[in-house]
Structure 1
């Protein structure tokens, strides 16, 4: 039986403070990871975005995961593009894509670690692929009858993305990356989820839900037999649509899911 382990939305700096003492921070990260491991880790770990706000800290975490996993695959979430200080904005020349580019470069230097950004990775006959994806306001348009312009104004007033991401991803570009890998994938990995049918009842009439999903119906209609891993919402889910299994195992912030762990996902190839 083949399995992989899944987690997303780690938001590392909320669990382990970012400090200048690298050795101390490394030790704290090691202990943190030891606490969230499943009893029997798989060979492969999938992280569906939102590692954390600091590349240096994220690299320590990926390296720490390699103590247990032969392969660590990850995609980018919106928080992996955040520049939360003037020092970061200066370092990355006011462009969040420069931050993710640095992260890809350093991650690729760690043996066994692979960023999924329109890329494929085959491991023991199982093909993993993905990209971060982005939200397209479809929830508000389709479910609430709102215009895209009105939703965009709401986004600018309410979402941290507008304050901390400079040069944010463009939905169509992310969709092009997904199209490059989708047919070949057994396991699809995106940060933003493709389906809102399981959204919690209290969010069903909230227009802010528009900034947490995209309309993936055309992809799900072609996804029978695939596993689709996603995050962004900190609500864990495991359900099927059109024969595709959708799994969210978000860790979230310490006050949300304090006893969460990675989960192992069995791969059943059709």
Structure 2
């Protein structure tokens, strides 16, 4: 079997910030195609695109994005991010009965209607000899507990004040259900990590490269989880993640390569394009 030598990576597209959601389908498709064209590297050698979460806030628009990407890629692998759970309007809350998982379930169906598009949710897929595995993942507040000596209750109160996740994901998380959600996602990672050469999650399992003001900011707790026990099992693997809108590529002390290639919001001016990752 021929083993693929590369895949392409992006995350945190936040489509509706780049292309305004409207009912003019022709205009919307044209604008989405322009955005996608601007993201494709000039000599993209990969047939597989990995999207590490946060497509956008509107499922139909997100499907149009995937259709546009399919002009360039045979396979598209997706994990969902926190924004893929958001219900940002009264209309969305009515449509999905104030249940964010219904929106995510619909997005999975719309995505997988397209040939070659797969949503990883505690699952794996082998493409050209490379096994990819992933899930959305979630944060566990361990950064604040271990680094800032804060309690889980203190961090929950900070989370309610600081994060849109507290107001736009339904039903609203309690302190208990927030941790239940993390634990459920963590179990999915545990199920795929050993057989996967490429691991994909939205949230990073490692905060060793956090610096500056973020080292003393409790909000950092909501951008990472303590994946130390998983990283000990990931030597020689590649772990792709999103959520932070900061591009990084480094080798963890346990031998796992961690990569973020987030697009982010227009006003962040990251200059990100889809990046080819060599295996």
Q: Say whether residues 1:144 and 2:140 are aligned partners.
A: no
Aligned to 2:35: 32
Q: Any runs of at least 4 consecutive aligned residues in structure 1 with deviations exceeding 4 A, and if so which? A: none
Q: Secondary structure at the match of 1:234?
A: coil
- Inter-partner Cα distance in structure 1 for 2:241 and 2:41: 19
1:67-86 Cα shifts (integer Å, max 9, x gaps): 00010001000000000001
Q: Secondary structure at the match of 1:32?
A: helix
For residue 17 of structure 2, the aligned residue among 14, 18, 22 is 14
For residue 261 of structure 1, the aligned residue among 238, 249, 273 is 273
- Inter-partner Cα distance in structure 2 for 1:149 and 1:258: 34
Q: Give yes or no for contact 2:193–2:233 (8 Å, CA) kept in 1.
A: no
For residue 70 of structure 1, the aligned residue among 54, 62, 74 is 74
Q: Say whether residues 1:84 and 2:95 are aligned partners.
A: no
Q: Which moved more, 1:80-89 or 1:164-173?
A: 164-173
Aligned to 1:54: 58
Unaligned runs of 5+ in 2: none
- Inter-partner Cα distance in structure 2 for 1:120 and 1:106: 19
- Inter-partner Cα distance in structure 2 for 1:181 and 1:221: 14
- The 5-angstrom pairing of residues 219-234 of structure 1 reads 219-234=230-245
**Aligned length in residues:** 267
Residue 259 of structure 1 and its aligned partner are, at CA, apart by 2.4
TM-score (normalised: structure 1):
0.97
Residue 199 of structure 1 and its aligned partner are, at CA, apart by 1.4
- Inter-partner Cα distance in structure 2 for 1:165 and 1:257: 27
- Inter-partner Cα distance in structure 1 for 2:200 and 2:12: 13
Q: Say whether residues 1:104 and 2:115 are aligned partners.
A: no
Residue 258 of structure 1 and its aligned partner are, at CA, apart by 4.8
For residue 120 of structure 1, the aligned residue among 124, 140, 146 is 124
1:196-236 Cα shifts (integer Å, max 9, x gaps): 11113120000000000000000001100100000100011
Q: Secondary structure at the match of 1:31?
A: helix
- Inter-partner Cα distance in structure 1 for 2:108 and 2:30: 23
Supply the RMSD in Å over aligned alpha carbons. 1.0
1:35-77 Cα shifts (integer Å, max 9, x gaps): 0111222100000000000001100001110000010001000
Q: Say whether residues 1:198 and 2:209 are aligned partners.
A: yes
- Inter-partner Cα distance in structure 2 for 1:123 and 1:15: 31
Aligned to 2:264: 252
Q: Secondary structure at the match of 1:87?
A: helix
- Inter-partner Cα distance in structure 1 for 2:140 and 2:276: 30
Aligned CA distance change for structure 1 residues 243 and 258 (closer, same or farther; 3 Å): closer
Aligned to 1:188: 199
Residue 20 of structure 1 and its aligned partner are, at CA, apart by 0.7
- Inter-partner Cα distance in structure 2 for 1:259 and 1:218: 34
Unaligned runs of 5+ in 1: none
- Inter-partner Cα distance in structure 1 for 2:11 and 2:121: 16
1:230-261 Cα shifts (integer Å, max 9, x gaps): 01000110001111000000000111135220
Q: Which moved more, 1:188-197 or 1:255-264?
A: 255-264
